[in-house]
Chain A
Amino acid sequence: MKLAYYPGCVSRSTGKEMDLSTRTVCAALGIELEELPDWSCCGATHVPNEFVSIGLAARNIIQADLPIMTACSICYSNLRNAVQRLEVPEVRSKVNAVLTKRYEGAQIRHVLDVILEVLQKNDERLVVPLKDLKVAPYYGCLLTRPVGGLDSPEFPTIMEKFIKTLKAESVNFGLKTFCCGGPIFMPQEKAAADIVYRILKDARKADAEVVVTVCPLCHLMLDARQKTLEARHDEKIGIPVLYVTQLVGIALGLGPEELGLNMNSVSPMAMIERIYERMTEK
């Protein structure tokens, strides 16, 4: 399988481990990625003008001759939104007027969907069984929006299917589609922190050993903010938050550095040790 790869801005900053684990896992699964030659911002949530946002997304899309894959659910949502809006002739003609090459349509895929498709055909590469690992699937808001994508926005199940494919157990996690509070972090930090605390407590209550996510903003809020929350509530939370690509990488037997696990704020190393202990027990 060969796909165009759109890394997105966070792949160079707060989501470095997302990008690294995506490239490593795709290479291990035989998914060939061709990075877009001159990608720029996808026009995500911080671009308030709709036409500018669509124009920025289209500028990236027209660089690809293949279906485009991204690991960031914000980019995924924004590129898909642009593809949907560009079906309107007036919008397409307005945007095409400023682009160097005409937009003619595109297929946008998320790495979760791509990896699941590959593993459902052949799971022989999964050499480390994650049996008994309790995983909280955290969708956030954007993976399933706008509607018409890879799953239902209200009752998604694709991450549970993914976790089952890895032979792990998905816990019953009530806040799995709750917003992470990332978009209000700057103006309403206290409210955002309360949201993150509720999500992590809910995952803990469900006995999750790890939370998996598909979004770098959700990851930032749940992982990098965890120490601050622990200090504020005088309480140990200590739940690792991994990208789906990091979790599948562990199941593929890839090393921590190849997956950027050393870049996570909450170390997942104790969890990985438990996985290997359970493996030797059996």
Chain B
Amino acid sequence: MLYSPAVDPYLENLMKNADRPVQTMEMGLELLPQGKIIVETERTKGTDEVKKIFAELEKG
């Protein structure tokens, strides 16, 4: 299924209010020179356990 803002209220909200991504970018421009925007994809080793927590406990 194609990703649609109609099924994602969060994205729908952003699209209705186009200035909000600008605010987010403003924050990004403030934080980027300070080295505060990073993505650490490999720090956690136990990702299988994390995935299991989501898979098993999300059922309720």
Residues of A within 8 A of B (CB): 12-14, 16, 38-41, 49, 51-52, 54-56, 59, 94-95, 97-100, 185-187, 189, 220, 224-225, 227-228, 263, 265
What would 18 more interface pairs be, CB under 8 Å, given A98-B56, A225-B30? A13-B37, A14-B36, A14-B37, A39-B44, A41-B50, A51-B60, A54-B57, A59-B46, A59-B50, A59-B53, A94-B57, A95-B57, A99-B49, A99-B53, A186-B20, A186-B24, A189-B19, A225-B27
- Chain A residues with CB under 8 Å of B45's CB are 38
* B26 sits at the interface (CB 8 A): yes
Number of interface residues of B (CB under 8 A): 30
B20 touches A189 (CB 8 A): yes
How far apart are the CA atoms of A263 and B1 in the complex, in Å? 43
6 pairs of A and B residues whose beta carbons are closest in the complex:
A51-B57, A55-B53, A189-B23, A40-B44, A98-B56, A55-B57
Chain B 18-48 interface 0/1 with A at a Cβ cutoff of 8 Å (1 = within)? 0110011011001100111110100111100
Residues of B within 8 A of A (CB): 10, 13-14, 19-20, 23-24, 26-27, 30-31, 34-38, 40, 43-46, 49-50, 52-54, 56-58, 60
Q: Which residue of B lies closest to A56 (CB)?
A: B53
Also in contact, A38 and B38, with CB within 8 A (given A52-B57, A227-B30) = no
A265 touches B10 (CB 8 A): no
Interface of B is mostly: helix
A12 touches B53 (CB 8 A): no
Shortest CB-to-CB span from B27 to chain A, Å, is 6
Q: Which residue of A lies closest to B43 (CB)?
A: A12
Also in contact, A38 and B57, with CB within 8 A (given A13-B38, A186-B24, A224-B30) = no
A59 touches B20 (CB 8 A): no
How far apart are the CA atoms of A34 and B4 in the complex, in Å? 45
**Cross-chain contact of B27 among A52, A59, A97, A224 (Cβ < 8 A):** A224
How far apart are the CA atoms of A39 and B49 in the complex, in Å? 12
B13 touches A187 (CB 8 A): yes
B60 touches A16 (CB 8 A): no
How far apart are the CA atoms of A68 and B13 in the complex, in Å? 38
A12 touches B27 (CB 8 A): no
- Chain B residues with CB under 8 Å of A228's CB are 23, 26, 30
Q: Which residue of B lies closest to A53 (CB)?
A: B57
**Cross-chain contact of B49 among A54, A59, A94, A265 (Cβ < 8 A):** A59
Q: Which residue of A lies closest to B55 (CB)?
A: A98
